[in-house]
Structure 1
Amino acid sequence: MAATSAFYVLFLIAATFFPSTASLLQIQQADCTGRRIYIRQLPPRFNTDLLANCSAYPLFTESFCPYTANHGLGLKTHNRSQSWYRTDHLLLELLFHRRMLEYPCLSSDPSAADAIFLPYYSALDALKYLYGPEVNSSYNHGLDLHSFLRSDQPHIWSRRSGHDHFLVMARPAWDFSQPLSNDPPIWGTSFLELPEFLNVTALTFESRPWPWQEQAIPYPTSFHPPNLPLLDAWVRRVSSSKRTVLSLFAGGGGISASPNIRRSIRIECENTSSSDLHPYSKLCEVVDCSNGVCEHDPIRYMKPMLQSAFCFQPPGDTPTRRSTFDSILAGCIPVFFEDQSARSQYTWHFPEEEFGAFSVFIPKENVVYGELKIMDVLMAIPSWKVRKMRQKVVEIMPRIIYRSHRSSPGLKSKKDALDIAVEMTLKRIKARVEEVSAE
């Protein structure tokens, strides 16, 4: 793995300093006003060296080494696959870094850039604090990076005190939000609590309600098309798929005796029988994803999602779920039980005014502690409205996909999850810099 890491370092350096002819042509053709980004050159210990430790922290009893393949997309689901990979969400930082090297408005001059991207693999670096030998010093997470930013070309950082910097953190913000005062430390690191980084925009899978600098972006699915025909082919399959199951829950948990929404979903699903309600032959189905068995196996849950009209998205350890984006990819209408599961999280990718057009919201308290039956709510939705909601799900699908690097020009014309995240980050940084300058 060390040789692979060394090669990747050389690739990143070459790609950054010697862009291809196609990339140069993109830069010449693009309107880069207000969109120029400088990628900060970090020592390998902050990114590529972390890939060499992929076997040190097993995830679900296995190393994450296979999922570093294809620049973070992971291994293909099968040899002939062109779009489907066994993607691990922790590798979004690597995937994002690789895609940023193709950004059409890269700047080689930090003083001329509108934003500075930090290619720091924070979720991978956090593993030693979460599971490894430094678990009792997790308040140190990020201090080494800050020390480097302040000492190496300090003018880049000091120009705007970090307000123009952004990074991707491939875990929920809660995992980086342990109070510095905790002694002994509890779960998580204190990266987002460090005063040194309070000005930096952090793109996470799940943000907290109050810090202005945090913004939730979609979890990566396993679908990363390289061209427009492959995306269009998938959209056609999703649109034409026969939905013979009313509702689906793909996930784990819900087996404890204490009341919770997952338990209520399982009980209701287990108590339903076959249906004579056209076009559904079954009211509810469960795909058991306990112990991470679905994590890298999209085949296990994607086919049932394609056959279902609604997909349940109950909160777990935290409110958000990767399954939300898997269900949208499958054209399965998401059913939420908390606002924090999506509505108040992914505001860049799911505009609030559109939220009710592609999803269903059922307060979990009404299900767990009341007498409200989820199936009754879903069956009461007219079939014409279900079709309209599914059309909206298909319409927003490109927004939540992370396309493959080296994608075709046709596919690049459609904004994907990364494009939207970068565009909105630039707007946020501009507004913040102007606000600070006016103070």
Structure 2
Amino acid sequence: MAYKNRIVPIFFSVATLFFLLLIIDSSSSQQTLTVESRSNPATSEDCNNRWIYIRNLPYRFNLDLLTNCSEYPLFDDFCPYLANHGLGQKTHGRSHSWYRTDPLLLELIFHTRILEYPCLTNDPDAANAVFLPYYAAIDSLRYLYGPDVNSSFQHGLDLFEFLHSDEPGIWERHMGHDHFLILARPAWDFSQPLDNDPPIWGTSFLELPEFYNLTAMVPEGRPWPLQEHAVPYPTSFHPQNLAYFEAWIQRVKRSRRTSLMLFAGGGGIGSTPNIRRSIRNECEHSTINNNVTANFSIIRTNGVYSKLCHMVDCSNGVCEHDPIRYMKPMLQATFCLQPPGDTPTRRSTFDAITAGCIPVFFEELTAKTQYRWHLPADKYSELSVFIPKEEVVFKGLKILDVLMGIPRSEVRKMRQSVIELIPKVMYRRHGSSLDLRSKKDAFDIAIDKTLQTIKDKLGNMLDH
């Protein structure tokens, strides 16, 4: 993107100093918050079983990795997206809630937010959980795209050696069962078998026996391991106070839905049968005109749409840092299609929810079996539509027929359920107002669920 070259030289020299100060101040931030919490009986009571200790790691595990943001020739330069504590640059000068957020910076976003967590302690023995501020996804880039690609089984060994040499009692107290971290890439990228020779793809971080006891939050998990839990991809919406959040909710509710369904994405242009190709073909051949009287009568029954299907071409990553390109069309669509791509999950799922657009899934791995902490599995039929991709690709089922068959009253209920999810899948801005903090966001829910997971693990250890 053209704007990268204009921003990096000025921005990064300032950002490097800022992030250095941020990490240096992390210990003092812990101390301040802990003292305040313990001096207030009500707050201290609220923190029962919720104390978190932030492990003090050398800069090579976090800060130094940010300074290498432009050093991977086969990977996009992510320097411009370090702004605003990892939220990225604002989409435009007057924006208060919208940023050009890169999912790779989710580790930095979590680290920044956890420094504001009200139940921090500087006593590891008093902690219910220990957070590792390790930017594992950024560190993995040297194995995925850099000169260390053929030694990916070593990813994480340096961290493990540090944890065992520096205050080893913190780790050994529960053998890592009380430790947790956030990985900003799908778990598959950290799951290469240790005996792959030569390595195929990914690192072996999650395959190292040394880290089997960790609780890992990831944007996409594997179906079977118990150590990882999926959390929402970060969208570009990060409000800083309740007024901005409520203004967006009102816009979502008032938005006129002029497209029945929308697909924002790429792919589907080859000859191999797949769900994206089926979607593209159906969209390209769906029109509202005098020759489609049957469909038009159905459309009139279910609402007034100017388009049956709207395509937003996001090929080659053109949408990734440009929410304006796809959020307006999502605001104008009733249903947003979420076909799997290289992996089952999509950031677009959470963009759609933020826009009040009802997600349409074609695989359960896309969301239902992933985000159990944030999207209630027993409510999926109330907030989404599921169409098996095999029915579409190989049996000729038309997506439009399924969606046009849903009564308007059901569509209204589903949209309301989706809108109620918005605060649960957004990551509000750091330093946000107290009134907005009363609404638990994706970070708050992830921390609560992680603490409960660790509590259950330690309880099971005692039982056995």
TM-score range with shorter-chain normalisation?
A: over 0.9
Counterpart AA for 2:23: L
The residue correspondences of 1:350-429 to structure 2 (distance < 5 A) are 350-429=375-454
Alpha-carbon shift at residue 256 of structure 1 (Å): 1.0
What does residue 131 of structure 1 align with?
145
Preserved CA contact (<8 Å) 1:247 1:308: yes
> Which one of 200, 204, 224 corresponds to residue 210 of structure 1?
224
Preserved CA contact (<8 Å) 2:33 2:120: no
Alpha-carbon shift at residue 401 of structure 1 (Å): 0.2
The 2-side partners of 1:48 and 1:103 are apart by 20
> Which one of 254, 258, 263 corresponds to residue 244 of structure 1?
258
Per-residue deviation, residues 245-276 of structure 1 (Å, max 9, x unmatched): 00000001111110100000000000100264
**Structure 1 length-normalised TM:** 0.97
> Which one of 355, 359, 362 corresponds to residue 330 of structure 1?
355
The 1-side partners of 2:421 and 2:182 are apart by 22
The 2-side partners of 1:174 and 1:286 are apart by 29
The 1-side partners of 2:179 and 2:34 are apart by 23
Counterpart AA for 1:280: Y
- Three-state SS of the structure 2 residue aligned to 1:97 is helix
Alpha-carbon shift at residue 116 of structure 1 (Å): 0.2
The 2-side partners of 1:415 and 1:354 are apart by 19
What does residue 129 of structure 2 align with?
115
Per-residue deviation, residues 63-116 of structure 1 (Å, max 9, x unmatched): 110101110000010111111000000000001000000000001100100000
> Which one of 3, 16, 20 corresponds to residue 9 of structure 1?
20
Alpha-carbon shift at residue 17 of structure 1 (Å): 1.6
What does residue 165 of structure 2 align with?
151
Gaps of 5+ in 2: 1-11, 290-295
Cα 1:304–1:252 change in 2 (3 A) is: same
- Three-state SS of the structure 2 residue aligned to 1:317 is coil
The 1-side partners of 2:196 and 2:84 are apart by 39
Q: RMSD of aligned C-alpha atoms? A: 1.5
Alpha-carbon shift at residue 47 of structure 1 (Å): 0.3
Counterpart AA for 1:387: R
The 2-side partners of 1:158 and 1:218 are apart by 31
> Which one of 15, 36, 54 corresponds to residue 51 of structure 2?
36
Counterpart AA for 1:261: I
Preserved CA contact (<8 Å) 1:126 1:189: yes
- Three-state SS of the structure 2 residue aligned to 1:316 is coil
Cα 1:3–1:282 change in 2 (3 A) is: closer
The 2-side partners of 1:161 and 1:330 are apart by 43
Alpha-carbon shift at residue 438 of structure 1 (Å): 1.9
The 2-side partners of 1:290 and 1:46 are apart by 33
Per-residue deviation, residues 276-301 of structure 1 (Å, max 9, x unmatched): 42311110011000100000000000
Counterpart AA for 1:56: E
Cα 1:84–1:388 change in 2 (3 A) is: same
Instruction: Say whether residues 1:48 and 2:63 are aligned partners.
Output: yes
Preserved CA contact (<8 Å) 1:69 1:75: yes
What does residue 192 of structure 1 align with?
206
Preserved CA contact (<8 Å) 2:360 2:387: yes
The 1-side partners of 2:310 and 2:117 are apart by 42
Cα 1:15–1:184 change in 2 (3 A) is: closer
Name whichever of 207-216 and 27-36 sits farther off: 27-36
- Three-state SS of the structure 2 residue aligned to 1:254 is coil
Preserved CA contact (<8 Å) 1:35 1:105: yes
Instruction: Say whether residues 1:219 and 2:233 are aligned partners.
Output: yes
Aligned residues: 438
Counterpart AA for 1:207: G
Per-residue deviation, residues 276-329 of structure 1 (Å, max 9, x unmatched): 423111100110001000000000000000000000000001100000000000
Cα 1:269–1:133 change in 2 (3 A) is: same
